[in-house]
Structure 1
Amino acid sequence: MQRIRMSMSYFNQYGWDAEVVSVDPEYLDFPKDELLIESLPAATKIHYVKAFHKKWTSKIGLGSIALRALLFYLLKVNQLLKKQKFDLIYFSTTQFPICILGAYWKKRFNIPYVIDMQDPWHSDYYQDKPKAQQPPKYWFSYRINKYLEPLAMNHVDGLISVSADYINLLKHRYSRIRHIPQAIITFGAFQKDFDTAKKNQHLFKPLLSSDFINIVYIGRGGYDMHKAITPLIRGLKSGLTIDPLKFSRVRLHFIGTSYAAEGQGKQTILPLAKQYGVEDYVVEITDRISYFHTLVTLQNADALFIPGSDDPKYTASKIYPYLSANKITLAIFNSHSPAMDVLKEYGVKHSYHYDDPTLDHKVNLFLNEVSGKEIPEISYNASTVDKYSAKSMTLHQCSLFNQVLAATSN
């Protein structure tokens, strides 16, 4: 949703009128955030669809909002396409099963469709991992994704992705994708959101105490993040040993680390802290928080942390809120992650890969810097900030839409 929401302010400037079809928030597990809707242009047309209620579908083990809403998307969009002429359908969601409807609508209404690959859809990453490290219901999701992905990819007319690796994987699986329009487009930075967050911070429960030096990460956890997180925890352990008075004020916050329903998430970071004996200085909140609550918390942090997965294809597609907060930031990624290039372009001083033999020393320098008397103010490369703005990213999306129309009209 975030890509579409940020782009809605600019689509019209680049020759595209867009209408949105979305699940009614009543049926979502995610924290509700009324400010998201308020941040859309006033003229935005949103068509809400229902979903089968989870209190019934959970009885048969079905929680996925994509599967619960699939029928309702079909009915609503059928209705819209019968009434009105649309040029293109754009799927921008990580709820990928919805995308299989593109092939049906293309066949029935002769309308092309584009899929935005914000994450991998079908992935073998967890196949060789212990069951304890696999996501919930992995057996089911792996098989259904393996079945559904080809239904969408064998007919798609254009692809957008946050990572070249995601598209290259699809090209390997589906040779026809090599011949359709495609573009690597990251999420954009939308400074207006920070202004909105600042004006409305009184609406959100404070998660940080001013008594401490708060280093914050907000996003999913998981065992695949341990290679990136361990150096920071190890650095904190070292600091507490060398100068306990100075480093005892440091708190590492990991917030929203689980996709599970509220109160049901499994901690994956705090057990790591316990291994190093620093659990009293690490806070893990598995429950997710809303988007604007996230921005408020980033603004109130003293420093930020962005860890990457040990999967080399992983890109932290939503790093731009961190960079827009203008806080001193530590980022640790796989050396092959495309996020490293973006961080270097921005001029993030403390961006490292976790195989760096001098990483422990560099993390210690970061911790010493943020635990000092004055934390330095941060500003990033202005031309890079503009390059990765939501406005620029919307222009790239519209360019791909135009390519798709040109290719499918022949």
Structure 2
Amino acid sequence: MHRVRLSIPFFKNAGCGITVIAVKPKYIEASIDPVLESLSDDCRVIRVSAFPVKITRKFGLGNLGYRSWFQIKKAGDSLLRKEKFDLVYFSTTAFPVMTLGRIWKQKFNIPFVLDMQDPWRNDFYLSQPKSNRPPKYKIAHFLDSMLEKWTVPHANGMISVSDAYPSTLNQRYKTNIPSSTITFAASYKDFEIVEKSNLVNNIFKKEKDTVTLVYMGAVTPGMPIPVKQTLQAIKEYVLKPDSKKIKAFFIGTSYASSKNPAYRIKSIIKETGLEAFTFESPHRVGYFQSIKLLMDADALLLPGSIEAGYTASKIYPYILSRKPIFAVTHALSSVSKILKGCKAGSVITFKDEKDLLNKQSLINKEFEQFMNALPFETNIDKDYFKPYTDHSVASKQLDFFKRIIKSYVGKTS
């Protein structure tokens, strides 16, 4: 959602006509971001309903993509029948609606581009014990596999935050779909909006002589080990007699939008004996609220994933907050490259799970040095960061769209 929101003003300035189809907020399980709700639309937005989750949950169905599929199809059919459009762009993690790309392409002769922000078919848990798999994983994986296979080979283009996703999909389906690796965007304007807002931090209160550390965002399947290594470093530090007082908060750790989302790292906190210093709040937090929490922190934690293709959208607000960052990330992840290039904090990298486990002493040492250096404000390299700003990211998308449209028109003319 935020990729599109941040890009629309630049698309308009380039002379593009834009229509967005979105689900009405009342049908979305996530809490409504009051600041986002107060912002005016920069283009025509058609908001549709969805089947109420109170009803669909009775049948084990909560995914917004399924609940809103028919309503989005109806709205899209009406638009494409009445008006001339050059491209359909799916920028969402509600993957089932991406199947509409193939339907509309066949019905209205229009190309479509998929924004693969995360893997659609996630195979991570196939290598994990069944006891570690989420509820309904088997049926979810079956449906994701079937729908991805039905849709992706017919896409005209793919945008992704990581080279790994398009590469995997092209290999899987023996296709050669054009792709462009385009990161999420960073917006200085969003920080200005938060500074002028009256948002309140209801998660934590700053305490005198206490360093407040914050991790913001979902804990993905590949993250528990880096999280544990980071917590072990915190434990090692707080046991030192001359250490600073610490409170660490892991916020918005669950992907689930329910009123009682599952804790993702509570067991790890207990295992490391850090219940008095580390706290988890699994409930999802609105985008602007998350910026407020980052701004209120003294320093930020960023344990990455053991998956090389992992790219964290949270990295850009992290960097723009100008708060020191302590990161443990895969050496091939774009996260480590961007953090090092921007000089945004302390970054420990690893090649694989075994390498990570062997680096515990190094992580402990680096974390102690990081804590001893606080407080300080990062001085990011703005020239290095420029390609990740909203204007640059929007320009890359436009260039890719033009290439896809030109190629499609050439094939069909």
Alignment-derived partner of residue 152 in structure 1: 151
Q: Equivalent residue for 2:33?
A: 33
SS in 2 for 1:396: helix
Q: CA deviation at 1:362?
A: 4.6
Equivalence for 2:234: 236
Partner residue of 2:252 out of 253, 256, 279? 256
Report the Cα distance in structure 2 between the residues aligned to 1:363 and 1:110, rounded to whole angstroms.
57
TM-score normalised per structure 1:
0.93
Q: Is the 8 A contact 2:327 2:345 kept in 1?
A: no
Equivalences for residues 221-370 of structure 1 within 5 A: 221-222=219-220, 224-243=222-241, 246-247=243-244, 249-354=245-350, 355=355, 360-370=361-371
Superposition pairs for residues 124-139 of structure 1, below 5 Å? 124-139=123-138
Unaligned stretches of 5+ in structure 1? none
Q: Which residue pairs with 2:78 in the alignment? A: 79
Identity %, equivalent residues: 32
Deviation string, structure 1 residues 246-288 (Cα, Å, up to 9, x no partner): 33x2011101111224442222322112222122100001111
Cα RMSD after superposing both structures: 1.9
Letter in 2 for 1:120: P
C-alpha distance after superposition, 1:327-375 (max 9, x if no partner): 1001111222222222222123411124365553454443444356x51
How do residues 175-254 of structure 1 correspond to structure 2 at under 5 angstroms? Answer: 175-176=174-175, 178=176, 180-211=177-208, 212-222=210-220, 224-243=222-241, 246-247=243-244, 249-254=245-250
Question: 1:113: Cα distance to partner?
Answer: 0.6
Cα 1:44–1:148 shift into 2, 3 Å: same
Deviation per CA, 1:138-186, whole angstroms, max 9, x where unpaired?
A: 112100000000221121111100000001101101223x1x4310000
Counterpart of 1:168 in structure 2: which amino acid?
Answer: S
TM-score, normalised via structure 2 length: 0.93
Alpha-carbon offset, residue 131 of structure 1: 3.0
Q: How far apart are 1:223 and its partner, in Å?
A: 5.4
Give every structure 1 segment of 4 or more consecutive aligned residues whose post-TM-superposition deviation is greater than 6 Å: none
| 1:80-137 deviation digits (Å, cap 9, x = unpaired) | 1122111110000011110000111111111111000000111211112123432332
1:37 to partner: Cα distance: 4.3
1-structure distance, mates of 2:262, 2:130: 14
Contact 1:133 1:222 in 2 (8 A): no
> Pairwise mapping of residues 94-173 of structure 1 onto structure 2 (< 5 A)?
94-173=93-172
Q: Is the 8 A contact 1:185 1:396 kept in 2?
A: yes
Residue 44 of structure 2 corresponds to residue 48 of structure 1: no
2:276 aligns to what SS in structure 1?
Answer: helix
Gap regions ≥5 residues in structure 2? none
Match status 1:407 vs 2:407:
yes
Which residue identity lines up with residue 189 of structure 1 in the other structure?
A
Q: How many residues align?
A: 404
Tell me if structure 1 keeps the 8 A contact 2:235–2:274.
Answer: yes
